[in-house]
Amino acid sequence: MALLERVRQSEFLGRDFLVWLWFKSETNGGEFDLGELGRIELRFGRKIKLQAEGDRATETVTCAGETPHMKEARFALTVDKKVTEAEITLTIGKDLWSFVLDSKWMNLKSLKTPKVMQDKNDDPEGLFYEKVFLIEKAISIVNALYFSYIKLRVSPQWSSQERPHLIRWIREGR
Amino acid sequence: MSIILGSISLTRFSVEGPLPDHHMEEFPERIARYAFRKLHEDSSDERAVGWVNIMDMLDSQFAAKEFFKDPYIAMSWRVDERKIPGKALKLHLREAEAEIKRAENVQYLSKARLQEIKERVRLQLLKRSIPNSSAYAMVWHLPLGVVIFGSVSSRLCDEFTEFFFKTFNLRLHTVFPYSLAHECLEDSGIQTDLLDDLHPLSFETEGW
């Protein structure tokens, strides 16, 4: 299958992942145990972009609000709108990362890492390594979360447990 | 310093195939060949692209092979572009046409003549315009074969992958959800064809 066709046909994997991640972040207090990467806290931010596609022209809804529960955005899921971008914050101890995760390419947009401690004049190489380490950490965390989702999605546990819980969560948000 | 200062938007790529056997000797030559070269003031080129030091976009010499930052190759891809504002082009074109009509005492100019004047005016303005410079970080983890590129624009990403291929003779593939999922299942020893049985989640029929 040509690459672009494969990308188009499997686009839903990224979109469904963002819905699942949103659901998990709200139902487990935002805490995720990622094994070697440690325990992290993940929160959805104030902006979520949803899109409906099909026979109708593409419709995009951007929800921005103070409340983390974002009822309006959760309601949009029930009319088959899919999450295409979400603002996310990650916390490990005192360190905080924020970025917008996009469902199509799993790109991290506007990624802000914790402040780099190295001094630019004293050790420019150290500055580079520290910054790249912080960027790679965010990528590794996103990968680890996505891998948890994919393993669950292809397991029997998805239909028997996870999907019903996800549907209940959407219903509660109406 | 774009990767160091402030926020960054990034696209991930995987590098196809293994590294060449003598890449440590080969890559510096290749990078030097495709290092950034400024647009000459007299040139009519609209664009110049090439590699610069990731810590200093004014340095394209790499005197100390600064791109090797074990285990990475890290550089910025600099893009300089000269653009003529549409309004300015129209105005200068009208002026030039009027001047020629006056000088030659004619009322109309042929289509070919108008085209020739347009090209001349465009080149004159291009030489006077100051290029706009941008630098996009590129961090390549050599053992993992993963590249982080500091832009999410599909036009730039396409151009970048072409430039990367020209430089290193290695193809880049954009990471996307299916490729990541495939990698995850393969690494975990789970059948990858399970992915092909998945369908998009739909909540519309849940009888809300």
Query: Tens digit of pLDDT for each residue in B161-203?
Result: 999 999 999 999 999 999 999 999 999 999 999 998 898 888 7
Q: Which of B179, B185, B201, B206 to mutate to test the interface with A (most CBs of A within 10 A)?
A: B201
For A146, other C-beta atoms within 10 Å of its C-beta total 22
Query: Judged by CB atoms within 8 Å, which residues 129-148 of A form the interface with B?
Result: 129, 131-132, 135-136, 139, 143, 146-147
Q: Give just the sign of the alpha carbon dihedral B162, B67, B12, B10.
A: negative
Cα–Cα distance measured from residue B74 to residue B203, given in angstroms and rounded to the nearest whole number: 45
The predicted complex's ipTM stands at 0.87
| Contact (Cβ atoms closer than 8 angstroms) between residue B39 and residue B22 | no
Contacts of A78 in chain B (CB under 8 A): 203-204, 206, 208
Chain B residues interacting with chain A (CB cutoff of 8 angstroms): 3-4, 6-12, 54-55, 69, 72, 74, 139, 148, 152, 173-178, 180-181, 184-185, 188, 190, 194-195, 198-204, 206, 208
Cα–Cα distance measured from residue A99 to residue A44, given in angstroms and rounded to the nearest whole number: 10
Length of chain A: 174
Q: How high is the pLDDT of residue A172?
A: 80
Lowest mean pLDDT among A55-69, A149-163, B15-29, B39-53: A55-69
Tokens representing residue B120 in the block: 């001349």
Question: In angstroms, how far is the first alpha carbon of chain B from the final one?
Answer: 51
- Of chain A, the percentage scoring pLDDT greater than 90 comes to 55
Name the phi and psi angles at A39, rounded to 5.
Answer: -95, 135
Number of domains in chain A: 1
Pairwise CB contact (< 8 Å): A154 & B139: no
Pairwise CB contact (< 8 Å): B200 & A79: no
Which residue has 């396409």 as its token pair? B158
Has residue A121 been placed in a domain? Answer: yes
Pairwise CB contact (< 8 Å): B10 & A111: yes
Nearest beta carbon to residue A111 from set B9, B190, B204: B9
- Exposed e or buried b per residue across B8-47, where buried means at least 16 C-beta atoms within 10 angstroms of its C-beta: bbbbbbbbeeeeeeeeeeebeebbeebbbeebeeeeeeee
Q: How high is the pLDDT of residue A65?
A: 64
Q: How high is the pLDDT of residue A79?
A: 80
3-state secondary structure chain A: CCHHHHHHHCHHHHHHHHHHHHHHHHHCCCEEECHHHCEEEEEEEEEEEEEECCCCCCEEEEEECCCCCCHHHHHHHHCCCEEEEEEEEEEECCEEEEEEEECCCCCEEEEECCCCCCCCCCCHHHHHHHHHHHHHHHHHHHHHHHHHHHHHHCCHHHHHHHHHHHHHHHHHCC
- State which residue of chain A sits closest to B191, comparing Cα positions: A154
Nearest beta carbon to residue A131 from set B3, B180, B201: B3
Q: Give just the sign of the alpha carbon dihedral B89, B95, B101, B103.
A: negative
Total H helices, total E strands in chain B: 5, 7
Cα–Cα distance measured from residue B153 to residue B206, given in angstroms and rounded to the nearest whole number: 37
A149 lies in which domain range? 3-169
Closest CA to B178 of A103, A144, A32: A103
Burial class (CB in 10 A: 0-12, 13-18, 19+), A81: buried
The type of residue at B28 is P
Pairwise CB contact (< 8 Å): B202 & A15: no
Tell me the pLDDT tens digit for each residue of B77-109.
Answer: 999 999 888 899 999 999 999 999 999 999 999
pLDDT bracket for residue B20 (50, 70, 90): very high
Asked whether the bond before A156 is cis by omega within 30 degrees of 0, the reply is: no
Has residue A7 been placed in a domain? Answer: yes
The type of residue at B156 is L
B115 to chain A nearest CA, in Å?
A: 39
Has residue A149 been placed in a domain? Answer: yes
Tell me the pLDDT tens digit for each residue of A18-77.
Answer: 999 999 999 998 999 998 889 999 999 888 898 886 645 566 667 666 655 567 777 788
- State which residue of chain B sits closest to A116, comparing Cα positions: B4
CB pairs under 8 A between A and B: 129
Q: How high is the pLDDT of residue B181?
A: 96
- State which residue of chain A sits closest to B175, comparing Cα positions: A105
Has residue A174 been placed in a domain? Answer: no
Cα–Cα distance measured from residue A134 to residue A116, given in angstroms and rounded to the nearest whole number: 9
Tokens representing residue A35 in the block: 């094994």
Query: Can you say how many angstroms the Cα of residue B37 is from the centroid of all Cα atoms in its chain?
Result: 15
Has residue A41 been placed in a domain? Answer: yes
Tell me the pLDDT tens digit for each residue of A84-129.
Answer: 999 999 999 999 999 999 999 999 999 999 988 766 677 778 899 9
Has residue A79 been placed in a domain? Answer: yes
